[in-house]
Amino acid sequence: MNQQANGQQVDRREFVAALIKALPDALVVTGLGSASYDVYASGDRDKNYYLWGAMGGASSVGLGLALAQRDKPVVVITGDGEQLMGVGSLATIAAKQPANLTLVVLDNGHFGETGMQRSHSSLGTDFVAVAKGFGIKEAFSVSDVASCAMIAEKANARGGPIFVQALIEASEPPRALPSRDGPYIKNRFRAALGLRPF
């Protein structure tokens, strides 16, 4: 179901905070912009990997991480505009079938970082149908905080890949900015995985 067709939406910060709380052991990759702000606002963690650029790259980074760290749940949290930019990555995710990867698209039907123009998901694109069309069988929409427990259960069961379209309100809460120091973010994340910095 696309954003335009569904009247119920959830507060983005409340949803992300509940999801992060329900997945304390997950490795979290964020898309640029609002997804990074929301994850950081829920509490900074060494296992958060914030992307500040590379629009469209979050799902691909998450895929690589999931393949390299198969014993850990990997959760990508990104926005609808960012995922639209990297929509082809869903085909590779479906081809590789990483059981430990969960992709959560925060969909407000707008391009929040560039002025809140309407995005494709409010103009007829059905993200769940797209994900299923690529071959991701476990794909569904949610629009309430209570769904976070179910998402976490599926993520921890490692029955993925899982695609979640979270229908969020088109709001712009105050920005909570994580570090923009790429080497610091990378090395902190590597240390959390028991790897040496480089």
Tens digit of each residue's pLDDT (9 = 90 or more) over 160-181:
899 999 997 777 778 888 898 9
Q: What is the pLDDT of residue 169?
A: 75
Q: What pLDDT is attached to residue 3?
A: 42
| Mean pLDDT computed over every residue of the chain | 88
Tokens of 167: 């229908």
For residue 173, give the DSSP letter: P
Instruction: Give pairs for 121-124: CB < 8 Å, separation 24+.
Output: 121/2, 121/3, 121/4, 121/80, 121/84, 121/165, 122/2, 122/3, 122/4, 123/4, 124/2, 124/4
What whole-number distance in Å separates Cα of residue 17 and Cα of residue 84? Answer: 24
**Residue of 91 and 171 predicted with greater confidence:** 91
pLDDT, residue 55, reads 80
3-192 in CATH: which number? 3.40.50.970
Domain boundaries, the chain: 3-192
The proportion of the chain whose per-residue pLDDT surpasses 90, expressed as a percent, equals 64
Tally of CB atoms within 10 A around 83: 30
The pTM assigned to this predicted structure is 0.90
- Give me 190's structure tokens: 């590597």
Strand extents, DSSP E, 84-198: 101-107, 110-111, 117-118, 138-142, 162-167
pLDDT band for 1, please (50, 70, 90 cuts): very low
> Residue 5's pLDDT band (boundaries 50, 70, 90)?
very low
Give whole-number Cα distances, 159 to 1, 78, 98, 114, in Å.
Answer: 22, 20, 9, 35
Condensed to tens digits (0 to 9), the pLDDT of residues 106-140 reads: 987 645 565 555 565 655 579 899 999 999 999 99
Which pLDDT score is estimated for 124?
A: 57
Of 187, 198, 177, 152, the closest CA to residue 46 belongs to: 187
